[in-house]
A and B are shown apart, each in its own frame.
Chain A
Amino acid sequence: MTSAIRATFVCALVGICAVTPALAQGTPERAKVLRAAADALGMGRWSDIGGANTRLPGIDIVNTMELQGSGTSDMGGRQVKTEFHIALGYNPVAARIELTRTPDGGAAQHVIQTVRDTYAWNESEVGAGLVSGKGVATPAMAAVRERLLQVWMLPYGVVKAAYAAGDKAVVSTEAGATVITVPLSGQLAGITLKATLDAKNLINKVEARADNPALANLACTVEYSNYADHAEVLTDVQTPGRIVAKEGGRTVLDMTVKTWETNNPYLVFPVPPNVKAAPASTTSR
């Protein structure tokens, strides 16, 4: 064996030895934790149709969801009674958040906040601005990040983001609890999510941390509890029964879920032409 070959062999061996602990302790652990979190939520399914001929692996089946609930939300620094109706999807990433707020002694106020990819807009009615004469869609591009973040902060969003992040998703233990830390990308680059798992591997807390001071207004914490299958068409997808969001320790949303349909219902988020044409700097929210 020449010295050059020997040196190469030694380097390769050292390299293997150096990499092996990481593979043994890091990657498998992350994979195991992510899989446990996904399984706890019921995200992965496989088909047994044609079982004699096929043996397909499972895939992530969470795409569109629709939930309704009641509780309170922040309105000008006050918590007011609120009815929630939220439609969302992950392919494409989108949401339509309908809030009906009734301040003490005041009239109900109804708002529809929508986001898809790089577009955000407010609708005077569901689907406004798509058909001439049917409602008004008002661009709200400044709200894109905030609205997208709400989709990614759901337990399913965290798991999807963690799988997509690959090695950048980190698994650790804090105060005896398993924690997944995921840097977001794209529109939400600069935001890191930290999700805490309970003993059943269900995500019970998600914190959004702004690595960039310019995004500090997006920092918040959402707590999830009372998981069950809250759908009328049962799917075994586990959904939270209560959601509490806090900013700076102050509760800004407290929702008790009534229904959470997970069977990929027909929910679409076409972008109205006037929103597509709007400049990104439109500041209405």
Chain B
Amino acid sequence: MAVSRRVITTAAALCFATAAVFAQNPAPRTGPRTVNAPPKPTGTMPRAADGHPDLTGVWNGLGDNLNGVPNQIANNGIAIESETVARDLHSGQMVTVFPRLNNRPQNNEQAERAAALLRRSGSNRPIYKPEYWDMVKYNDHNANEEDPSNNCMPAGVPRGAIPSYIAQFPNHVMFVYPGQGGLIATQTMYRMIPTDGRKHTPLQELDGTYTGESIAHWDGDTLVVDSWGFNANTWFDQIGGYMHGENMHVIERFRRDGNTLTWTATVEDPDYLLEPWTTTPRVALLNPRPDAMLPESQPCSERDLAHIVTKEHH
């Protein structure tokens, strides 16, 4: 167990280091960030020749993890706005802040238990039909074995969230999600999404896939990506055991303001959910270096699972 945890943590550290070197994150800060509230936009928003916002770029400017979005606490909806104020972004409820009392780093066990708690403490949870409540709880409780992404499967949609790279063309956009080999053991994923006005293929004619069939259109300055035709082999968030069925329908919204990209997704699944669920918005920062490149994906080869002997999460 301890070896397994060390492997995971070491791999995570290597991932961070790799991302830092190859993605050329700017990180021009004078010291570590003590807040993780979504970044405020700066700069102007470039527009493509057709007048729409140009989303092209490497969206990992925060450099805290491979997706470049703020620390995973914020990903799960609790923003630390200052050293005394934290807020649940979904409910608005204030969350008590506890200043660190010393500079000692946590050991692996402490760090992983803390991470597991932090990532699950937010209030924004999908409301499943009651007959699935125990199953969702079981999935999360046994996530080490049950999470499809722990076995090198694609994260899928909407779990992939903000792509690390977007290329925008006149009639389609290209999303790239580098795999997170050592950290979360997901596979590299890409999506080629038409913006040419085409309609969905009827659902019954589609074979379910990990990323489904996506089409996109502009709603003002917001890119709206509409997807269906999924398989049921993914969970729709990093935590929680949030399974879904093949009738899942996801609507993602991408809005660029200056150097920030805000993403939300609304999940509809009439087979599983009591009501549609909308994620807490995530905000990514554009890598400001024009020569920023994505690193090679870490190969995904799950080797730890067989050695995990408790249900503790990572």
Contact = CB atoms under 8 A, between A and B. Distances in A.
Contact of A58 (B33, B36, B97, B131): B97
For chain A, give the interface size range: 35 or more
B51 interface: no
B100 A58 contact: yes
A51 interface: yes
B99 interface: yes
A235 B80 contact: no
Nearest to B64: A50
A59 B93 contact: no
Contact of A55 (B33, B96, B312): B33
B88 interface: yes
A263 B117 contact: yes
B171 interface: no
A167 to B, nearest CB: 15
Given A91-B123, A130-B274, A54 B32 contact: yes
B121 interface: yes
A266 B16 contact: no
A50 B19 CA distance: 11
B125 interface: yes
Contacts of A14: none
B45 interface: no
Given A54-B36, A270-B274, A49 B97 contact: no
Contacts of B36: 54, 56
Interface in A63-111: 63, 91-92
A45 to B, nearest CB: 4
Contacts of B141: 232-233, 261, 263, 265
Contact of B130 (A38, A44, A55, A130): A130
Contacts of A60: 95-98, 121
A233 B116 contact: yes
Interface of B: 12, 16, 20, 27, 29, 31-36, 62-65, 71-73, 78, 80, 83, 86, 88, 91, 93-100, 105-106, 110-111, 113-118, 120-123, 125, 127-131, 133, 136-137, 140-141, 240-241, 274, 310-313
